Amino acid sequence: MAASDLDALVAISPENVTYATGAVIWTQRSLRDRLAMVVWPREGEPTFLVAGQEAGYAGEQSWIKDIRSYVAHGDSPIRALASALREKGLEAGRIGIEMGYLSAAYHQELAKSLPELQLTPCESIFQKARLVKTAAEVELLSKAAVATERALLATYATIQPGDRERVLVGRLAENMLATGADAPSFLYMTVGPNTGYAHPSPTDYVAQPGDLVKTDCGAFFSGYQSDIARTAVIGKASPEQRSIYERLVQVHAKTIEAMKPGVAAREVFRVAVEEYKRVNIPFSLAFAGHGLGLITHEDLLLSDSESAPLAPNMVFAVETRVRWPGKAGYHIEDLVVIGDRGPKKITTFMDTEELMEL
Amino acid sequence: MAASDLDALVAISPENVTYATGAVIWTQRSLRDRLAMVVWPREGEPTFLVAGQEAGYAGEQSWIKDIRSYVAHGDSPIRALASALREKGLEAGRIGIEMGYLSAAYHQELAKSLPELQLTPCESIFQKARLVKTAAEVELLSKAAVATERALLATYATIQPGDRERVLVGRLAENMLATGADAPSFLYMTVGPNTGYAHPSPTDYVAQPGDLVKTDCGAFFSGYQSDIARTAVIGKASPEQRSIYERLVQVHAKTIEAMKPGVAAREVFRVAVEEYKRVNIPFSLAFAGHGLGLITHEDLLLSDSESAPLAPNMVFAVETRVRWPGKAGYHIEDLVVIGDRGPKKITTFMDTEELMEL
């Protein structure tokens, strides 16, 4: 904000409210109109606005002292925001707000309520602040990564032919909490032909010997996220399964190897594309990985359109995968922190060098 | 739409995309910019727009034949929407779109890309269509309700002093999948002093004899939701715990009793407020319950500001609760379908008449 000409920043997304306050307000995610917001003026103290139901908890969790509440389904949260801005003398101020999160309807309500307010998108300010992680953030993301691997390995270790896919997904959710997560974020554990889909609902498919088990999963830890993917086979892998997996391992290793500080994100993507071609695995997605932190996909995206360079203390999810819808799919996803001299994997609990046989 | 002057409807929220297509696109929830959309013209066939990753799965799940995909992180989803509108000759049409879901940034992008487009909010059309449930919807919501009760009872049945709150939450998530859910939606299971909060993160608090266990939880079933709350005590209930609970049971019963077809939603709320007063339990929330379906809080809200009458085949969550932050909390939430002559509970698996002792 110091480098901008803004009079105040308003955070409204779950990620930036947590970033600004230290608190996690779960209903932001599940009840769309139950906004939580932070008004952060250039001068003076920030104000944290939540629904009445969350006020006591927000007070316990946040370092912000000025917590105000509106009556959910009584007041409009935008009216509460307008009051807070007016009280801070900002009714004609230049305000940075998350236009990618604020709904068009709320935007119109706010503009009508404070017609002299100048609203401008502020996502880039938050994204820039969140891009390079602090040591504490790297530590939290590393612990979260390993906890999620432990939950997944604990689940894989119990899989038997005859297990229902849906029950396995539940077991993974249970193990996530047992290893320290606050909640599952996503649980795409698929078996057999379902591995051909990226993000399907779980089914009652019964696991058979020879089936692939592919998991792309993540959980929440104090508002931060994990995101890993692993592929295994029930029983003995076929030569074809082994061949596809081994070729993906090569792509994956080369992609990670390229992740040196100073290298442009798009260079890493290009290395991945080249490697898929070299090992003859089809690849048509627009990214080979993404930043990770308070949201699952944060800057930088490892894509052809991202020219920014990697820098120390950025954290990435590197994703190597192939899918044939309704037939088969393979996915390896590791988390990597960029060090001064090169990449370091923070997913260290499960070995992904060989296709795991269950 | 037939009763409106719109040339097309555009669904973009998870609930209305599922309502219009029959498909569940999970990444709509977890990756904010990965839009899924349905363009439904007054004349002609609807078009379903998804990211490439979801196209195969969307084709399997939906009855809509015209499925198109954009490259996630490559194309802008709004560009794909604009193309579809243009192709249907709707570039200057009057389009109903969900302005409460569409972000202000995407709204501006769409308006810039098709400057003659007339955009108008269309939430009320979908809400009206979803308000009275079909027989199939009532059956699905009833099955979902009982499945969630079964998951919760299975969890309560295993609680022992010494259990960690976080582990119990994981067990609930596991049981939800085992009893048929596709994913947990929310898992607010709290123990002891944490019952004083509505929606906290789970902690490593260790359950003690005499502790309350309060759960407000829900799960997804083919895109539809469940939402129930139950309170129990570990070991013997104290006279005070029993007294508070018994008084809430009275409020709860009277509130449900009032839910006859033709009665205004606000009347139900007023009955609840009167009852809280009569039994001397503090109540300051703005609603006594809410409609339930594809989202957790859908119309009608049982609040003082809702004058619409209850009608047969509406489904409601009735919530009776009291909380003292950081100290104690009690919550009973049942699902009710309005019948021709009166309310019928569809949460039938757990008895809530007495405070359950574990």
pLDDT at residue B4 in the model: 80
**Which of A177, A205, A226, A322 is the best residue to mutate to test the B interface, defined by the most B CB atoms within 10 Å of its own CB?**
A177
| Last residue in a domain, options A73, A102, A130 | A130
- Is residue B3 scored above 80 in pLDDT? no
Q: CB–CB of B266/B305 below 8 Å?
A: yes
Q: Least CB-CB distance to A199: which of B27, B187, B284?
A: B27
Q: Give the span between the Cα atoms of A71 and A56, in whole angstroms.
A: 13
CB atoms within 10 A of CB B124: 11
Residues A196 and A247 in one domain: yes
Sequence-ordered list of residues with C-beta below 8 angstroms from that of A164, at least 6 positions apart, any chain = A204, A205, A206, A207
Contact B326 A178 (CB under 8 A): no
Nearest C-alpha neighbor of B301 from the set A109, A36, A27, A72? A72
Report the DSSP pairing between strands A118-121 and A94-97.
parallel
Say whether the peptide bond before residue B300 is cis (omega within 30 degrees of 0). yes
Residue A309 forms part of a structural domain = yes
Residues B275 and B308 in one domain: yes
Nearest C-alpha neighbor of A315 from the set A290, A288, A342? A290
Residues B276 and B141 in one domain: yes
Q: Least CB-CB distance to A177: which of B103, B173, B182?
A: B173
Per-residue pLDDT tens over the stretch B154-178? 999 999 999 999 999 999 999 999 9
Q: The domain spanning residue B109 has which CATH number? A: 3.40.350.10
- Place A4 in a pLDDT band, splitting at 50, 70 and 90: confident
CA distance to partner chain B, nearest, from residue A202 (Å): 6
Task: Output the CA torsion B190→B194→B197→B202 (10° steps).
Answer: -50
pLDDT at residue A231 in the model: 98
Q: List C-alpha distances in Å: B2 to B94, B131, B280.
A: 13, 17, 50
Per-residue pLDDT tens over the stretch B93-149? 999 999 999 999 999 999 999 999 999 999 999 999 999 999 999 999 999 999 999
Q: CB–CB of B346/B140 below 8 Å?
A: no
Per-residue pLDDT tens over the stretch A222-281? 999 999 999 999 999 999 999 999 999 999 999 999 999 999 999 999 999 999 999 999
CA distance to partner chain A, nearest, from residue B54 (Å): 7
State the average pLDDT for chain A. 97
Given CB atoms, is B260 within the 8 Å cutoff of chain A? Answer: no
Residue A2 forms part of a structural domain = no
Residues B113 and B140 in one domain: no
pLDDT at residue B164 in the model: 98
For residue A61, give the chain B residue with the closest CA: B200
Contact B188 A26 (CB under 8 A): yes
Per-residue pLDDT tens over the stretch A11-37? 999 999 999 999 999 999 989 899 999
Structure tokens at B229: 């709350």
Mean local confidence (pLDDT), A151-174: 98
Q: Which H helix or E strand runs over B184?
A: strand B183-191
CB atoms within 10 A of CB A63: 9
| Last residue in a domain, options B130, B145, B163 | B130
What domain count does chain B have? 2
Q: CB–CB of B165/B190 below 8 Å?
A: yes
| Last residue in a domain, options A80, A97, A130 | A130
Mean local confidence (pLDDT), A58-82: 95
- Is residue A140 scored above 90 in pLDDT? yes
Residues B125 and B174 in one domain: no
Contact B287 A73 (CB under 8 A): yes
Establish, for the pair of chains A and B, how many residue pairs have beta carbons separated by less than 8 Å: 196
Q: CB–CB of A331/A320 below 8 Å?
A: yes
Mean local confidence (pLDDT), A275-304: 96
Residue B336 forms part of a structural domain = yes
- Is residue B50 scored above 80 in pLDDT? yes
pLDDT at residue B96 in the model: 97
Q: CB–CB of A4/B181 below 8 Å?
A: no
Q: How far is CA A43 from the centre of its chain?
A: 32
Contacts of B297 in chain A (CB under 8 A): 31, 33, 73
B165-178 helix and B135-156 helix, angle to the nearest 10 degrees: 140
Residues A121 and A213 in one domain: no
Structure tokens at B187: 């898992």
Contacts of A200 in chain B (CB under 8 A): 26, 57
- Place B8 in a pLDDT band, splitting at 50, 70 and 90: very high
For residue B75, give the chain A residue with the closest CA: A286
Buried b (16+ CB within 10 A) or exposed e, A17-35: bbbbbebbbbbbbbbbbbb
Domain that holds residue A300: 132-357
Residues B264 and B187 in one domain: yes
Per-residue pLDDT tens over the stretch B303-357? 999 999 999 999 999 999 999 999 999 999 999 999 999 999 999 999 999 999 9
Which of 20-59 (B) contact A at CB < 8 A? 24-27, 30-33, 52-54, 56-57
Q: CB–CB of B83/B48 below 8 Å?
A: no
pLDDT at residue B74 in the model: 85
Q: The domain spanning residue A333 has which CATH number? A: 3.90.230.10
Q: Least CB-CB distance to A53: which of B57, B169, B199?
A: B199
- Is residue A2 scored above 80 in pLDDT? no
Mean local confidence (pLDDT), B175-199: 97
Q: Give the span between the Cα atoms of A199 and A229, in whole angstroms.
A: 12
Which of 65-104 (A) contact B at CB < 8 A? 71-74, 99-104
**Which of B16, B24, B30, B221 is the best residue to mutate to test the A interface, defined by the most A CB atoms within 10 Å of its own CB?**
B30
B15 strand-pairing partners: none
Contacts of B104 in chain A (CB under 8 A): 99-100, 102-104, 106-107
Q: Least CB-CB distance to A171: which of B57, B71, B174?
A: B174
pLDDT at residue B73 in the model: 87
Nearest C-alpha neighbor of B317 from the set B262, B263, B256? B256
pLDDT at residue A73 in the model: 87
A123-131 helix and A14-21 helix, angle to the nearest 10 degrees: 60
SS3 (DSSP) at A203: coil
pLDDT at residue A198 in the model: 95
State the average pLDDT for chain B. 97
Residues B188 and B284 in one domain: yes
Structure tokens at B295: 């989202």
Contacts of A57 in chain B (CB under 8 A): 197-200, 325
Residues A271 and A342 in one domain: yes
Q: CB–CB of B198/B323 below 8 Å?
A: yes
Report pTM. 0.96
pLDDT at residue A222 in the model: 97
pLDDT at residue B145 in the model: 98
Residues A264 and A232 in one domain: yes
Region of residue A223 (phi > 0: left; psi between -120 and 50: alpha; otherwise: beta) = left
Contacts of B25 in chain A (CB under 8 A): 199
ipTM metric = 0.95
Given CB atoms, is A327 within the 8 Å cutoff of chain B? Answer: no
Structure tokens at A255: 């992609």
Q: Give the span between the Cα atoms of A145 and B87, in whole angstroms.
A: 45
Residue B1 forms part of a structural domain = no
- Place A177 in a pLDDT band, splitting at 50, 70 and 90: very high
Nearest C-alpha neighbor of B218 from the set B191, B189, B248, B253? B189
Given CB atoms, is B187 within the 8 Å cutoff of chain A? Answer: yes
| Angle of CA points B312, B97, A127, to nearest 5° | 115
Mean local confidence (pLDDT), B219-237: 98
B315 strand-pairing partners: B337
- Is residue B1 scored above 80 in pLDDT? no
Residues A238 and A209 in one domain: yes
Residues A124 and A209 in one domain: no
Q: Least CB-CB distance to A174: which of B71, B171, B287?
A: B171
Burial class, A302, CB count within 10 angstroms (exposed 0-12 / middle 13-18 / buried 19+): buried
Q: Give the span between the Cα atoms of B25 and B16, in whole angstroms.
A: 11
